Amino acid sequence: MKKGHFSQVSPQVFDEGGIKGVEKRVLIGSREGAPNFVMRLFTMKPGGHTDYHSHPWEHEVFVVEGEITVVGPDGKEETLTEGSFVFVEPNEKHQFKNNSNKTAKFICVIPKSGGE
């Protein structure tokens, strides 16, 4: 068994191209020897967003703090609040946004094949 605290994991900062105001921490992945999945914690500043994209792996997302807006394949936006979750299917276009004035945090789990 391996354990830790998110504050001990250095964030990777994304703030260019189609991504703005996003930090990613890989909480569980290859470093811990995880054979199947990668657990990541994203912190998104107010006004922050990922790019609108798709890829061949799924996402399981859980909102830890604040609220995020999920843009689906049809461009429809839905706001998820703390405690909410969403499943993004493989090859489904999606984007995450923070339209609020507070920082948002969410856990995103993907298969190891999706990278870290």
Residue located via tokens 């489904």: 92
What does the pLDDT read at residue 17? 86
Instruction: Provide CB contacts within 8 A for 88, sequence distance 6+.
Output: 58, 59, 61, 70, 94
Express each pLDDT in 3-59 by its tens digit. Answer: 999 999 999 999 998 999 999 999 999 999 999 999 999 999 999 999 999 999 999
Confidence band for 108, pLDDT divided at 50, 70 and 90: very high
Express each pLDDT in 59-93 by its tens digit. Answer: 999 999 999 999 999 999 999 999 999 999 999 99
Q: What is the pTM of this model?
A: 0.94
Query: How far is CA 97 from its chain centroid?
Result: 10
Quote the Cα angle for 50-78-73, to 5°: 65
The amino acid that residue 10 corresponds to is S
What does the pLDDT read at residue 5? 95
